[in-house]
Amino acid sequence: MTHRADADTGDHTEDVGDADDARGPGKPDRRAGSVEAGSASGRPSGLSGAEVAERVARGEVNDVPVRSSRSLTEIVRANVLTRFNAIIGLLWIVMLAVAPFQDSLFGYVILANTGIGIFQEWRAKKTLDSLAVVSEAKPTVRRDGRAAEVSASELVLGDLVEIGPGDKIPVDGTVTEADGLEIDESLLTGEADPVLKRPGEAVMSGSFVVAGGGAFTATKVGREAYAARLAEEASRFTLVASELRSGISTILKYVTWMMVPTAIGLVLSQLIGENNDFKGAVARTVGGIVPMVPEGLVLLTSVAFAIGVIRLGRQQCLVQELPAIEGLARVDTVCLDKTGTLTEGGMDVTEVRPLGGYDTAELGRVLGALGASDPRPNASLQAVVDAYPDTSGWTLEAALPFSSARKYSGAAFTDHGGWLLGAPDVLLGRSDPALADTEELNRQGLRVLLLARAPRGVALDDPGIGAGAEPAALVVVEQRLRPDAAATLRYFEDQNVAAKVISGDNAVSVGAVAAKLGLPGADRTVDARELPEEPEALARAIEEHTVFGRVTPQQKRNMVAALQSHGHNVAMTGDGVNDVLALKDADIGVSMGSGAEATRAVAQIVLLNNSFSTLPSVVAEGRRVIGNITRVATLFLVKTVYSVLLAILVVCSQVEYPFLPRHLTLLSTLTIGVPAFFLALAPNKERARPHFVRRVMRYAIPCGVIAGAATFVAYLVARAYYAGTGALAAETSVATLTLFLISMWVLAIVARPYTWWRVLLVAAMGLGFLLVLTVPWLQDFFALRLVGATMPWTGVGIAAAASLLLELLWRWAGRRFPA
């Protein structure tokens, strides 16, 4: 007979040996439903409503603010109070005092950039905050004898907090009730083994439950709790270091070093060396300093990240650490937990095969009693509960909750002895004939549990209890594959990202599931119990194989570390408490929204819609950000390099600086500012590559040198041609035309590969400059007027030669330093 277990689809499913003790938010908790009756039998009823109100009035509440993003004040401060804004702001004030309005345009551009940055990050903050509310775990407290979920910030001193597998301890406390309660404190103390907690012992916030259940009384809340000082760092949105951000910081540091001495020399040459009026000298000095500042680079980086957060937020993807978008794009290995990632919530009991002559009806009573013995059943046991409601009326004497380390659970009943339910290959000897049936079922991708009678006189928690257990039945459970899993695995394969399935379930069963999804290498599964412990040998074994079964939580952590030791960027996905350690140590941790509270706390990315297919979108956003910022960084830094070179050449030649601020504002807007904004937000599927600074500078420095040298040559030639005519605007116009044409070629190179909109973008920028040269009032506004035909065409010729050299350099660098 086939039984169906219509488990809650929001349920978190885990392997028999894969820590199926984790529960997702919204999962039914039969323990909570029975609290009132339990109170009548002597269990503590918790605080009363009046006691809670009294403690709130005294300020004894867990009021530590844990935000998912920066406050609006911090956003404004971060975008306004920058080193380069201070430099530009000072120069803007000077220009407002001594020069025409159009020479102060650069200041208004900075104001606009800052406003855009603030607005976009504020939009991203709203998205993150709304998603964080959805993702927030709510602890269960017992008040007035009833269990209810409250926000973590509403806990008060003395609250009785109920806990079970997968729950994170929200505040410090003392255990009041314990039923096989095991706490993992490794994230706080480094102790690898779970700690068995008994009534009266302390629990620390930031640790999490791996097995059993119980309740504790809050002894420290708010800023007094351990989490407020240490553990909550794992669950806050933080702008942690990333290669992209650190690379840009390195570039800006170099720019500052170049700017200071160059700017000092330019000031002295223009104010002292030239026979010019003071206001004109100041204007040209400022015109030489302003373009050295890559003022839009940081802005566009922040905007690109913020837009990525907003786009992913629309897909119910919570990015808890901003650089995680970038990090996942750099990943070359993804470690997948089978249950909850490749399979979805809900299981069905499809068959119960009696062993040793046991009666089917009796087995049903045993299974029903076992299900009722656990107040918070895992996904496998929930399937048993739904298929076999408890009608036995048996009296429970002792219970052993499921543990990832044991891979089985159990219960003892008055007059009916002890029973175990767990992994057959753990509870049975290697020669047991029942293992043959188990292997056959596993090859079909089915999960198999062994129901066994425990030996008499042996305690349930005795490590050797499985040796004398008597097999009673095989319970066959069917898992549901995620419909999007196969397509997602194919995406990673196409992108040359290695996928490794790491599960606590039977290796053959895991391999069968992976094979159904078309994962290469699924036919060569590895039992993790046979893996070497030596890190180097372990790393080689993981690189050579794809599917691993019977993996313990500590082994998952070791496997991640072994891959990292071989230079791999590793992402780990999971939703059970057995995944927490590996998620924490991986380069990028990805948790399902329905996963255990502990996994969501340590993961950088939480898929709130529980859809594995969202991962390609995260990868795509990361690639868009990295690839596009690399493009626009080249544009900004070419400008910085040619500005510094022009200033040095002017100082050495003791001539007037070629440009007024208005000229460079026009050039920057048409060849960098507007194009960079569109290029930074455009789709980009290029695989992320390392060495951001080196890749940008190897193009920016030679391109900037060529642009600066060619422009200065054109300026000197025009200066000599127009000597004695007093036509300073004419020689400046020739230099501006030359620099614009060279910058347009740099833009045309950076915009490759061409699409219709990129061609249109480059053409529109060229048309904009043409309008300035041909419309009289724009000529006057920007002080640009080409005089005669000889010098303008000379400038075009110099620009063409420089552009040809740029093209040859670009192609040579592409071959010499392949991407």
pLDDT digits over 672-705, tens only?
888 988 888 787 777 667 777 888 888 888 999 9
Instruction: Quickly list H helices, 269-320.
Output: 278-289, 295-314
pLDDT digits (tens, 9 = 90+) for 611-639: 778 888 888 888 888 888 888 888 888 98
Give domain status of residue 206, yes or no: no
Binned at pLDDT 50, 70 and 90, residue 70 comes out as: low
Burial class (CB in 10 A: 0-12, 13-18, 19+), 609: middle
Q: Which residue has the higher pLDDT, 740 or 89?
A: 740
Please check whether residues 641 and 692 belong to one and the same domain: yes
Please check whether residues 371 and 448 belong to one and the same domain: yes
Integer angstrom CA distances of residue 585 from 79, 123, 535, 556: 32, 30, 15, 10
Please check whether residues 558 and 432 belong to one and the same domain: no
Q: How far is CA 465 from the centre of its chain?
A: 43
Q: Inform me whether the pLDDT recorded for 740 exceeds 50.
A: yes
Q: Inform me whether the pLDDT recorded for 462 exceeds 90.
A: no
Domain with 688 in it: what CATH number? Answer: 1.20.1110.10
Percent of the chain residues topping a pLDDT of 70? 85
Please check whether residues 488 and 609 belong to one and the same domain: yes
Cα dihedral across residues 634, 638, 641, 647: positive or negative:
negative
d(CA 115, CA 331): 33
Give the closest residue to 172 by CA, choosing from 135, 198, 206: 206
Give the closest residue to 516 by CA, choosing from 483, 556, 563, 475: 483
Token couple for 576? 């059970």
- Strand 160-163 to 140-143 pairing: antiparallel
Q: CB neighbours of 400 closer than 8 A, spacing ≥ 6?
A: 180, 406, 408, 409, 410, 411, 420, 460, 461
The residue type at 789: A
Give domain status of residue 657, yes or no: yes
Three-state SS sequence of 330-348: HCCEEEECHHHHHEEEEEE
d(CA 453, CA 351): 19
Predicted pLDDT of residue 35: 32
d(CA 23, CA 12): 5
Q: Inform me whether the pLDDT recorded for 308 exceeds 60.
A: yes
Beta bridge partners of 149: 140
Predicted pLDDT of residue 660: 80
Token couple for 54? 């009294």
pTM of the predicted structure, to 2 decimals: 0.68
Predicted pLDDT of residue 238: 41
Give domain status of residue 224, yes or no: no
Please check whether residues 588 and 643 belong to one and the same domain: no
Burial class (CB in 10 A: 0-12, 13-18, 19+), 187: buried
Q: Which range has the worst mean pLDDT, 331-340, 460-469, 480-489, 655-664?
A: 460-469
Cβ–Cβ under 8 Å, residues 219 and 172: yes
Any catalytic annotation for residue 337?
A: yes
Q: Which of 51-65, 286-300, 736-750, 800-814 has the highest mean pLDDT?
A: 736-750
Integer angstrom CA distances of residue 789 from 330, 730, 732, 786: 52, 11, 15, 8
d(CA 455, CA 320): 48
Q: Inform me whether the pLDDT recorded for 240 exceeds 60.
A: no
Which of the listed residues 424, 450, 479 is the one where a domain comes to its end? 479
Predicted pLDDT of residue 745: 94
Percent of the chain residues topping a pLDDT of 90? 9
d(CA 353, CA 330): 48
Q: What average pLDDT does range 174-192 have in this prediction?
A: 76
Binned at pLDDT 50, 70 and 90, residue 20 comes out as: very low
Please check whether residues 525 and 466 belong to one and the same domain: no
Please check whether residues 363 and 413 belong to one and the same domain: yes
d(CA 203, CA 169): 8
What contacts 24+ positions apart, CB below 8 Å, involve 614-618? 614/312, 614/315, 614/316, 614/317, 615/328, 615/334, 615/488, 615/573, 615/590, 616/488, 616/491, 616/492, 617/311, 617/312, 617/315, 617/317, 618/312, 618/317, 618/319, 618/324, 618/325, 618/328, 618/590
Q: Inform me whether the pLDDT recorded for 706 exceeds 90.
A: yes
Average predicted confidence (pLDDT) for the chain:
79
Cα dihedral across residues 683, 686, 692, 694: positive or negative:
negative
d(CA 203, CA 195): 10
Q: What is the DSSP string of 679-723?
A: HHTS---PPP-S-HHHHHHHHHHHHHHHHHHHHHHHHHHHHHHTT
Q: What average pLDDT does range 62-85 have in this prediction?
A: 71
Predicted pLDDT of residue 26: 38
Which of the listed residues 439, 458, 479 is the one where a domain comes to its end? 479
Token couple for 108? 């208004």
Predicted pLDDT of residue 770: 93
Give domain status of residue 688, yes or no: yes
Predicted pLDDT of residue 739: 94
Quick count: other Cβ atoms within 10 Å of Cβ 83? Answer: 10
Look up the domain containing 563 and give its range. Answer: 310-342+483-615
d(CA 646, CA 706): 11
Domain with 417 in it: what CATH number? Answer: 3.40.1110.10
Q: What average pLDDT does range 169-180 have in this prediction?
A: 86
Backbone phi, psi, residue 333, to 5° = -140, 130
Q: Which residue has the higher pLDDT, 364 or 38?
A: 364
Cα dihedral across residues 246, 247, 252, 255: positive or negative:
positive
Which of the listed residues 591, 615, 639 is the one where a domain comes to its end? 615
Binned at pLDDT 50, 70 and 90, residue 122 comes out as: confident
Q: For residue 324, give the DSSP letter.
A: H
Q: Inform me whether the pLDDT recorded for 798 exceeds 60.
A: yes
Backbone phi, psi, residue 733, to 5° = -65, -40
Q: Inform me whether the pLDDT recorded for 321 exceeds 70.
A: no
**Which candidate in 337, 374, 505, 575 is catalytic?**
337
Predicted pLDDT of residue 190: 55
Q: Which range has the worst mean pLDDT, 71-80, 102-111, 214-223, 403-412?
A: 102-111
Binned at pLDDT 50, 70 and 90, residue 3 comes out as: very low
Please check whether residues 268 and 406 belong to one and the same domain: no
Domain with 551 in it: what CATH number? Answer: 3.40.50.1000
Please check whether residues 465 and 512 belong to one and the same domain: no
d(CA 197, CA 183): 7
d(CA 459, CA 411): 10
Give the closest residue to 785 by CA, choosing from 713, 749, 737: 737
Predicted pLDDT of residue 119: 81
Q: Which residue has the higher pLDDT, 27 or 697?
A: 697
Angle at 4 between CA 3 and CA 6, to 5 degrees: 155
Please check whether residues 672 and 796 belong to one and the same domain: yes
Total domain count, the chain: 3
Predicted pLDDT of residue 39: 40
d(CA 551, CA 91): 62
Q: Inform me whether the pLDDT recorded for 41 exceeds 70.
A: no
